[in-house]
Amino acid sequence: MQNNSIVCFAGNDWWVHNPLTEKQWMRALARRGISVLFVNSIGVGLPGKGSPYILRRLLRKIKSLSYWLRRDEGVWVLTPLLLPLWSVAVVRRMNVFLITLQIRHAMKRAGMAPGIFWAGLPTAALLLRQVPHRQCVYYVQDDYLSYSTFDNQMFMRLHEDHDDMLRAADLVICASIGLVERESQVARRVEYVPQGIHPVFLDHGLTAADSIPNALKDISRPIIGYWGSLESLHDRDLVKALALRHPEWSFVFFGRKMTDVSELEALPNVHYPGFLPIEDIPRHGVHFDVGLISFKQTEFTYYGAPIKFREYLALGLPVVAPPMVEVEKAYEGEGLTARTVEEFSARIREAMDSDSPNRREHRRQLVAGMTWEASSEHVFRLLASLEEEA
């Protein structure tokens, strides 16, 4: 590649978050000899005053800022100093000035010539004219336009910045089929690159015949299970209705409780065993009878691409979810969707009745090639193709 450098305005933080997709891709590109500057999230908003996450997010950001500019695993990582009030015009101009200075300093220190401007969040549109680059890539991993509907959150300029990025980008990479269908109406070139699966889920040696972990031993089957953070998107009303309707089913949710689930915990067939390190999830999850995506029905979930959909399939699990384009279209017949409690009840029963060892192995094979390495290779080919089009 002649475009031998990337300034990546990431949608997450290198030092704080789990190794999410952009981090995996930038690691892989750096191993190919590309100079990468990974700019930790400059944000699209901030928690509202009623949010329970203000202190946690502040402490995490202070920790990240303490590193400022540092090289890690062959990647230069910058946590730029800025003010979070993007909606205030004078602050926005000041942030653009401050971030530009820091980016130019980091590029000079890393010996980077202008190459690819990578935007992993819409706010990066404000830096397009300030950061020298030859080509522009916009990675759309979520339905950014629906962020403003989140509980206790304040998000600014989403529509303006998102539209600017779609029109400016030489290439738009989308994480879900729904986003591809929507963004293709505006962007010049859109490509579908699903997120890679963590290697621990791709161990085909794990089966439901393995010994049952202690956390599940006293829970009766069938188990309708979930793993992941339990935040405001967790549909507690749906879970309560299903649990009351089906006392013979057990509902198990592994993850950090970031919303009040006390009413659900009081039900005898609903269980919140706590957080599991990602390395321990497969040996628990393989004993689920159904993988449930217990998200509220919103525009965000409809267009989303939760990695847990493919993690469930990697363990051979049937999947039931609210309406999501990705679940309905990515692997036809292997993701069931429902809108009402009655439909969820029917789809879960259908998933269990149609399950079999052969069906589980088929699901595993569907996603067997969805490794981080494979998705990184896909991205590398797409970036290389930009030069051919130039």
Lowest mean pLDDT among 155-159, 249-253, 308-312: 155-159
pLDDT top residue among 86 and 148: 86
Q: What is the pLDDT of residue 201?
A: 95
To which CATH superfamily is domain 5-196+371-389 assigned? Glycogen Phosphorylase B; (3.40.50.2000)
Q: What is the pLDDT of residue 149?
A: 56
pLDDT top residue among 56 and 222: 222
Question: Does the pLDDT at position 44 exceed 70?
Answer: no
pLDDT top residue among 330 and 62: 330
Lowest mean pLDDT among 42-46, 83-87, 160-164, 304-308: 42-46
Q: What is the pLDDT of residue 41?
A: 86
Q: What is the pLDDT of residue 390?
A: 61
pLDDT tens by residue, 274-305:
999 999 999 999 999 999 999 999 999 999 98
Question: Does the pLDDT at position 151 exceed 60?
Answer: no
Question: Does the pLDDT at position 47 exceed 50?
Answer: no
What is the value of pTM for the model shown?
Answer: 0.91
**Residues 173-201: what's their mean pLDDT?**
96
Mean pLDDT computed over every residue of the chain: 90
pLDDT top residue among 217 and 258: 217
Q: Where in the chain is the domain with CATH 3.40.50.2000?
A: 5-196+371-389, 199-366
**Residues 148-174: what's their mean pLDDT?**
78
Report which listed range, 56-60, 62-66, 112-116, is most confident.
112-116
CATH number of 199-366: 3.40.50.2000
Determine what percent of the chain is predicted with pLDDT higher than 90: 75
SS3 track for the chain: CCCCEEEEECCCCCCCCCCCHHHHHHHHHHHCCCEEEEECCCCCEEECCCCCCHHHHHHHHHHHHCCCEEEECCEEEECCCCCCCCCCHHHHHHHHHHHHHHHHHHHHHHCCCCCEEEECCHHHHHHCCCCCCCEEEEEECCCHHHHHHCCCEEECCHHHHHHHHHHHCCEEEECCHHHHHHHCCCCCCEEECCCCECHHHHCCCCCCCCCCCHHHHCCCCCEEEEECCECCCECHHHHHHHHHHCCCCEEEEECCECCCCHHHHCCCCEEEEECCCHHHHHHHHCCCCEEECCECCCHHHHHCCCHHHHHHHHCCCCEEECCCHHHHHCCCCCEEECCCHHHHHHHHHHHHHCCCHHHHHHHHHHCCCCEHHHHHHHHHHHHHHHHHHC
Lowest mean pLDDT among 43-47, 108-112, 257-261, 364-368: 43-47
- Residues facing 254 on adjacent strands: 227, 274
Question: Does the pLDDT at position 132 exceed 60?
Answer: yes
pLDDT tens by residue, 332-351:
889 999 999 999 999 999 99
Asked whether 34 and 64 are in contact (CB, 8 A), the reply is no
pLDDT top residue among 268 and 83: 268
pLDDT tens by residue, 312-326:
999 999 999 999 999
pLDDT top residue among 136 and 229: 136
Question: Does the pLDDT at position 51 exceed 50?
Answer: no
**Position 227 confidence tier, pLDDT thresholds 50, 70, 90:** very high
pLDDT top residue among 56 and 46: 56
